[in-house]
């Protein structure tokens, strides 16, 4: 096992900033030393790496996305088994968080392959920091159900949990369904529940606002269609 490579978890920009503005100088050197990458979308990965001291066409990029089958994992890990270091990147933000990369990370632990997370942005943590809601005790719930009935039921559950425990409930949605999610939240939650919306975190048009549901009901529409958004609920007893 001593000759096996290291899996580096490489955070990417969640706004319009380049990877050079995201990573520490020491971590940029690590990324520039890699020849193998596990990525969600090769085109997007190359765009993130552009500007670094790498020859893009010489890089071996292996795809891991929601369509990847478990039987494909050995192929992804092959360079690591053979002793080469590998970088894991998602299309945006932190790999393995609300991201298919977690399956590769878990398999590396099973095989005794060292996993090293590099320092970088997380829209989840940044949104929570800026919300003014409970950052001591919170739960990240990932994506809510697609259909409206199940989604509304889940929103009520999260609000109820928050009211009982005081925890902040963090979740997200596929950008094109953001408006439907916001509509459901405003419709089913109690008027005194706090809702924070963090839109395009760290981007040029970043928008972060926390208000009670009653206030959101009287606010003009917020542009969240097709824009990455984090939602945070905190119920009041």
Q: At what angle do helices 148-165 and 178-188 cross, to 10 degrees?
A: 50
Q: What is the CA radius of gyration of the chain?
A: 20
Q: Say yes or no to pLDDT of 201 above 70.
A: yes
- The answer to whether 4 touches 83, Cβ cutoff 8 Å, is yes
**CA separation, residue 110 to residues 34, 44, 98, 107, 118 (Å):** 23, 29, 21, 5, 21
Backbone angles phi, psi at 173, to 5 degrees: -150, 155
Q: Is the pTM of this model over 0.85?
A: yes
Beta bridge partners of 171: 231
Q: Say yes or no to pLDDT of 152 above 80.
A: yes
CATH 3.90.190.20 given to domain 6-117:
no
**Would you tell me which CATH number, out of the four given (3.40.50.970, 3.30.950.10, 3.40.50.2020, 3.20.20.80), belongs to the domain 123-234?**
3.30.950.10
Structure tokens at 158: 């999260």
Q: Say yes or no to pLDDT of 13 above 90.
A: no
* The pLDDT of residue 15: 65
For 159, counting Cβ atoms within 10 Å of its Cβ (0-12 exposed, 13-18 middle, 19+ buried), the class is: buried
Structure tokens at 31: 């990324």
* Mean pLDDT (whole number) for 103-115: 97
* The pLDDT of residue 55: 93
The band of 147, judged by pLDDT with boundaries at 50, 70 and 90, is very high
The domains of the chain are located at 6-117, 123-234
* The pLDDT of residue 202: 85
Can 6-117 and 123-234 be said to share one CATH topology? no
Q: How far apart are alpha carbons 228 and 175 in whole angstroms?
A: 5
Q: How do residues 123-146 score in pLDDT, each as one tens digit?
A: 999 999 999 999 999 999 999 999
Structure tokens at 84: 């080469």
Q: How far is CA 220 from the centre of its chain?
A: 28
Q: How far apart are alpha carbons 196 and 166 in whole angstroms?
A: 15
For 132, counting Cβ atoms within 10 Å of its Cβ (0-12 exposed, 13-18 middle, 19+ buried), the class is: middle
| 3-class SS of residue 199 | strand
């Amino acid at each position: 096992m001593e000759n096996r490579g290291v899996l580096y978890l490489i955070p990417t920009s969640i706004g319009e900033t380049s990877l050079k503005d995201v990573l520490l100088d020491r971590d940029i050197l690590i990324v520039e030393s890699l020849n193998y990458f596990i990525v969600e979308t090769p085109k997007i990965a190359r765009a993130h790496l552009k500007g670094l001291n790498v020859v893009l066409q010489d890089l071996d990029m292996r795809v891991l996305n929601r369509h990847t089958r478990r039987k494909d994992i050995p192929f992804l890990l092959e360079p690591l088994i053979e002793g080469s270091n590998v970088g894991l990147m998602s299309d945006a933000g932190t790999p393995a968080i609300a991201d298919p990369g977690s399956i590769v990370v878990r398999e590396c632990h099973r095989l005794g392959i060292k996993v090293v997370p590099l320092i970088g942005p997380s829209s989840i943590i940044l949104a929570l920091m800026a919300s003014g809601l409970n950052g001591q005790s919170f739960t990240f719930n990932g994506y809510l159900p697609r259909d409206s009935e199940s989604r509304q039921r889940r929103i009520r559950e999260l609000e109820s949990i928050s009211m009982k425990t005081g925890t902040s409930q963090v979740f997200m949605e596929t950008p094109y369904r953001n408006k439907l999610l916001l509509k459901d939240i405003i419709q089913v939650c109690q008027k005194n529940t706090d809702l924070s919306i963090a839109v395009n975190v760290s981007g040029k048009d970043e928008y972060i606002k926390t208000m009670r549901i009653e206030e959101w009901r009287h606010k003009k529409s917020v542009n969240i269609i097709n824009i990455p958004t984090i939602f945070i609920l905190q119920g009041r007893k």
